[in-house]
Amino acid sequence: MTDFDNTNRGALFKNTEKTDERQPDYTGPLNVNGEDFWISAWLNTSKKGLRYMSLAIKPKNSDIARPKQSSADDLNDQIPF
């Protein structure tokens, strides 16, 4: 059996841990031409009452996609005496 090819495919999953309205309603992985991204979607309603999804993507390997280091990682415990 061959491996499934996820090239040019993606998936959105409901954000069950949403704690703030600014957080996306759905998130998931996306692959475009062999490059991996994160996709986020927000459910919205237009002024005419039509429902739509607003989307945003960011590369999985970008600095903004990585968790920030804790401030403890930045501390230098050496005292210059």
Mean pLDDT of the 1-29 span? 92
Question: What would the pLDDT profile of 27-56 be if each residue is shown by its tens digit?
Answer: 999 999 999 999 999 999 999 999 999 999
Better pLDDT: 64 or 45: 45
Measured in Å, how far apart are the chain's first and last C-alpha atoms? 64
- Of the listed ranges 4-8, 24-28, 47-51, 65-69, the least confidently predicted one is 65-69
> Tell me, what's the pLDDT at 4?
82
- The stretch 11-32 carries a mean pLDDT of 96
Given this model, what pLDDT does residue 13 score?
Answer: 97
Contact 37, 29 (CB under 8 A): yes
pLDDT at 48: 98
- If DSSP states are collapsed to H, E and C, what string results for the chain? CCCCCCCCCECCEECCCCCCCCCCCEEEEEEECCEEEEEEEEEEECCCCCEEEEEEEEECCCHHHCCCCCHHHHCCCCCCC
CB atoms near residue 32 (< 10 Å) = 14
